[in-house]
């Protein structure tokens, strides 16, 4: 028991405020408390707790210790259940069994890097008496109405010393499984300044995300990568630790904090995966300064290749599709689409643009400002006038937040509406997306995984009167401010990526090719 505890403390981050001994003591107390609880209950309740502990195990890939911690609990439960059901086995046999199981678990865990398969491996060992179906874990941010998942998250954040942000206001029942935060209470209110656990530039970044100062898929990813460069710069390896493992562990509370500020986008997720891989691939004999320099160079090259050069390549392909006399419709403010149009204008193509905008973000105004500054002829409409202006349009250019593995396009809410109406008018729809935004997820509707923005944004003040001001007092009223929606591939005619022009159904081919490359 003692050696297991020290092993897990070695794997875990060292909190800056709680010392090692304090944490060890805390954990011992918790284990004792759990064991006492289990001895009081009968075997059927043990089975129930076993399942609850093994099924919604945390899904964050960074630390190995949460899964490690979950393993002792089910192991405890199973061995006491086994003892109750098979009184014939002697205590010595049981202890030997338990030790063998723990040893095999520990070696298997140290062999694996990312945490995705850990619960699948610990679950079959934890419940040997049942046929264990392989349960795919849902990410935490779509399980807000499940109290067990919330408890797990709270425990994890407490351990990482990251403040937990509470939901705000009444949630429409169809979306009660998602978080809904208010902009007036950012998570930075609960941290002491200067923050000791979380790097100050991460705090700043989180605030910028939660207040909407940095918005847009590319902007968020680039800001994240620059902040990570700063973090790596300021990092120093503690004694007896390896940079490759410790830095990854250091990054997880930062990532938890950022996802508390605003849920991570698919592009940010891919960027984080890349950084973690690069960090773990640092050879152990590499000196600290050299390693840090290498990592910063990696991040710079990632930004350069995947974002900047990719947009150049996409512009090249897209300009072939813009012919003289075109009327192009764009929606909202996509940095990539704006870049394409500016480049096409520089190449002396004659076209005009119709910018479609929607409340409450009114991002189209930013796009309009940028295009007009270049000198492009623009028209501005709200999305309610879409079917009125579509007969004039020859092409629709849309940006994307992410491209899912089944060919669906996840983008700003309103995009699927535009694609649908364009299809009805037989206007070709072109989606422009860099390959680093492709993700392995599959989604067929906009409900299962989305983001709920601050509902107070929907309140509009006209002539000094805001009619929805006291919406919380009306029990039957809910305000829904969705951020993303999902467009099926039948409505999209062409996807322009840095690899070329592909039909929407070929996204899994690109993912396959990318995985082979890596």
Partner 1 sequence: MEKDTTQKLVEYFRAQIREDPDVASAVAAIRSLLEFLKRDQSETILGLRENQTKAIQRLEETDSSVAVSSGGELFLRFISLTSLEHPDLSQCKNVMIERGELFLKKISLSRGKVGKLCHTFIKDGAKILTHSSSRVVLKVLENAAADNKRFTVYVTESQPDSAGKLMAQKLHNLNIPVTVVLDAAVGYIMEKVDLVIVGAEGVVESGGVINKIGTYQMAVCSKAHNKPFYVVAESFKFVRLYPLNQQDVPDRFKYKADILKTVKDLNQEHPMIDYTPPSLITLLFTDLGVLTPSAVSDELIKLYL
Chain residues that interact with partner 1, rule: CB under 8 A? 321, 395, 426, 428, 430, 490, 493-494, 501-503, 505-506, 509, 513
Q: Minimum distance from CB of 504 to partner 1 (Å)?
A: 9
Inter-residue contact 394 to 328 (CB < 8 Å): yes
Q: Minimum distance from CB of 491 to partner 1 (Å)?
A: 11
Nearer to partner 1, 231 or 430 (CB): 430
| CB contact set of 10 (below 8 Å; sequence gap of 6+) | none
Q: Minimum distance from CB of 269 to partner 1 (Å)?
A: 25
Inter-residue contact 403 to 439 (CB < 8 Å): yes
Return the SS3 of 396. strand
Q: Minimum distance from CB of 346 to partner 1 (Å)?
A: 22
Nearer to partner 1, 236 or 426 (CB): 426
Nearer to partner 1, 124 or 428 (CB): 428
Cα-Cα-Cα-Cα torsion 482, 484, 489, 491, nearest 10 degrees, comes to: 60
Nearer to partner 1, 258 or 495 (CB): 495
The phi, psi pair for 491, rounded to 5°, reads -90, -10
Q: Minimum distance from CB of 426 to partner 1 (Å)?
A: 8
Nearer to partner 1, 191 or 510 (CB): 510
Nearer to partner 1, 328 or 333 (CB): 328
Q: Minimum distance from CB of 421 to partner 1 (Å)?
A: 17
Instruction: Enter the DSSP assignment of 393.
Output: -
Q: Report how far Cα 300 is from the mean position of its chain's Cα atoms.
A: 22
**C-alpha–C-alpha distance, residues 353 and 485, integer Å:** 23
Q: Report how far Cα 465 is from the mean position of its chain's Cα atoms.
A: 38
**C-alpha–C-alpha distance, residues 31 and 73, integer Å:** 8
**C-alpha–C-alpha distance, residues 24 and 304, integer Å:** 44
Joined tokens for residue 210: 């939660």
Nearer to partner 1, 189 or 513 (CB): 513
Nearer to partner 1, 119 or 506 (CB): 506
Q: Minimum distance from CB of 435 to partner 1 (Å)?
A: 13
Q: Minimum distance from CB of 11 to partner 1 (Å)?
A: 42
Q: Minimum distance from CB of 350 to partner 1 (Å)?
A: 16
Nearer to partner 1, 278 or 326 (CB): 326
The length of the chain, given as a count of residues:
518
**DSSP character string of 86-153:** -TTS-HHHHHHHHHHHHHHHHHHHHH--SSTTHHHHHHHHH-TTS----PPPPPGGG-TT-HHHHHHH
Closest to 267 measured CA to CA, from 429, 442, 435: 435
């Amino acid at each position: 028991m003692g050696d297991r505890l020290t092993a897990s403390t070695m794997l875990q981050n060292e909190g800056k405020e709680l010392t090692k001994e304090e944490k060890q003591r805390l954990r011992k107390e918790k284990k004792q408390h759990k064991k006492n609880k289990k001895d009081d209950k009968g075997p059927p309740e043990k089975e129930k707790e076993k399942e609850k502990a093994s099924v919604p195990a945390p899904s964050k890939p960074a630390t190995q210790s949460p899964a490690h911690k979950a393993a002792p609990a089910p192991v405890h439960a199973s061995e006491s259940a086994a003892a109750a059901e098979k009184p014939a086995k002697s205590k010595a046999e049981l202890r030997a069994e338990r030790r063998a199981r723990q040893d095999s678990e520990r070696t298997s865990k140290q062999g694996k890097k990312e945490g995705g398969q850990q619960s699948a491996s610990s679950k079959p060992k934890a419940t040997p008496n049942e046929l264990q179906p392989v349960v795919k874990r849902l990410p935490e941010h779509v399980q807000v109405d499940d109290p067990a998942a919330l408890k797990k998250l709270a425990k994890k954040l407490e351990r990482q010393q990251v403040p937990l942000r509470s939901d705000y206001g009444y949630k429409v029942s169809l979306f009660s499984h998602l978080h809904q935060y208010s902009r007036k209470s950012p998570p930075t209110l609960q941290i002491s300044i200067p923050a000791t656990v979380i790097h100050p530039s991460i705090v700043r970044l989180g605030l910028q995300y939660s207040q909407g100062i940095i918005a847009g898929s590319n902007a968020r990813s680039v800001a994240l990568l620059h902040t990570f460069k700063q973090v790596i710069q300021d990092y120093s390896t503690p004694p007896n630790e390896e940079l490759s493992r410790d830095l990854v562990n250091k990054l997880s509370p930062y990532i938890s904090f950022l996802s508390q500020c605003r849920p991570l986008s698919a592009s940010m997720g891919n960027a984080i995966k890349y950084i973690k891989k690069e960090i773990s691939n640092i050879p152990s004999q590499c000196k600290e300064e050299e390693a840090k320099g290498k990592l910063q160079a990696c991040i710079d090259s990632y930004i350069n290749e995947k974002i900047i050069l990719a947009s150049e390549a996409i512009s090249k392909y897209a300009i072939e599709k813009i012919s003289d006399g075109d009327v192009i419709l764009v929606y909202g403010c996509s940095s990539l689409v704006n870049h394409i149009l500016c480049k096409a204008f520089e190449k002396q193509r004659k076209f005009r643009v119709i910018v479609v905008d929607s409340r409450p973000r009114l991002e189209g105004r930013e796009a309009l400002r940028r295009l007009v500054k270049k000198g492009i002829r623009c028209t501005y409409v709200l999305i309610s006038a879409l079917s009125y202006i579509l007969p004039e349009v020859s092409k629709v250019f849309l940006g994307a937040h992410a491209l899912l593995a089944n060919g669906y396009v996840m983008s700003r809410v309103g995009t699927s509406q535009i694609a649908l109406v364009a299809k009805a008018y037989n206007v070709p729809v072109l989606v422009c997306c860099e390959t680093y935004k492709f993700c392995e997820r599959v989604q067929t509707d906009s409900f299962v995984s989305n983001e709920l923005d601050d509902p107070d944004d929907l309140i509009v003040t006209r002539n000094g009167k805001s009619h929805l001001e006291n919406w919380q007092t009306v029990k039957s009223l809910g305000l829904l401010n969705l951020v993303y929606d999902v467009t099926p591939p039948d409505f999209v005619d062409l996807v322009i990526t840095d690899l070329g022009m592909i039909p929407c159904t070929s996204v899994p081919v690109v993912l396959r090719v990318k995985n082979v490359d890596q």
